[in-house]
Amino acid sequence: MTAALVDTEWLSGHLADPGLRVIEVNRNGVDAYQSGHIPGAIGWNWKDMLWDPLQRQFPASDLFARRLGAEGIADTTTIVLYGDPVQFGTYAWWVLRYMGHNDVRLLDGGRTKWVAEGRALTGTVEAPDPVEYRPNPRRDGMRAGREDVLGCLGAPDVTILDHRSIEEYTGARVAPTGMADVGAERYGRIPGAQHIAYHALLNEDDTFKSPAELRDVIATVVPAKDRSIVSYCRLSHRATLACFAMTEILGYRNVRVYDGSWTEWGSMVGMPVER
């Protein structure tokens, strides 16, 4: 296990560290953040901070640097993330690592465990002092595009993993149960994809299962840690959670996330689909 996963006790003892920034990443606006957050945390809406303003693409490096610098984050800052829900924290972890930031960590259990332990939340929003952020090279090996995935179909040395619900994987839905069933024009999965639902990697308090339990789930499908893996879901949030578990907890060395995921694959003309 790497140092990328920190627990609530560790974070509680480091909240006052000058070189550390805590970030809550929200799915819908920042309402949850404003209603109460970990003291000192800043709040991000995931699309506003992590996507290009026009394209479904990540920001140019200079734009991303300006965004982070305005949030009081330098390229040497230790960033600790938690999501609402949990997979939005891992998505931000993956994007920040892809964009070249070095010290990015995830709070195990996030808000769920923090609150369950009776730790304080605050409604106070503090404006950070802007700093300079110097961009680092992107880690392109973390990401797979649609052409990469097409090239993996049927490849004997690649495993494609689908981290959606069983209803999405089998083609009964294109969105998780409880959400509007929208997001792609076709139902089904990428041909040959194996299924590991992201929630099978978590405990009820949103913490990751133990390394032994994670191995029981993942190694039955992908036993070799040097195996080439492509992970996807609907929008890639759940895939980044699985990527974190595989790379930062279990030590898998060759995992890429297909961030276009099913919303892209299931709506492109002529793409092969399996049910």
pLDDT(214) > 80: yes
What is the helix (H) or strand (E) element at residue 162, kind and residue range? strand 158-162
pLDDT(126) > 90: no
Residues belonging to the active site: 233
Sheet arrangement for strand 158-162: 143-144, 255-258, 228-232, 158-162, 194-195
Helix, strand, or coil here: 20? Answer: strand
The answer to whether residues 244 and 90 touch, using CB atoms and an 8 Å cutoff, is yes
H helix runs in the chain, sequence order:
8-14, 31-35, 46-50, 61-70, 86-98, 110-116, 146-152, 166-169, 211-218, 237-244, 261-265
Question: Cα(114)–Cα(9) distance, rounded to whole angstroms?
Answer: 9
Query: What does the mean pLDDT of the chain come to?
Result: 97
Question: Mind listing the pLDDT tens digit for each residue in 170-208?
Answer: 999 999 999 999 999 999 999 999 999 999 999 999 999
Question: Cα(263)–Cα(183) distance, rounded to whole angstroms?
Answer: 5
Question: For the chain, which domains are there?
Answer: 5-138 (3.40.250.10), 141-265 (3.40.250.10)
25's CB contacts (< 8 A; 6+ apart) are 44, 46, 49, 81, 82, 83, 84, 88, 89, 91, 92
pLDDT(118) > 80: yes
Kindly state the percentage of the chain with pLDDT values over 70. 100
Note the pTM of the prediction, 2 decimals.
Answer: 0.97
Question: Mind listing the pLDDT tens digit for each residue in 243-274?
Answer: 999 999 999 999 999 999 999 999 999 999 99
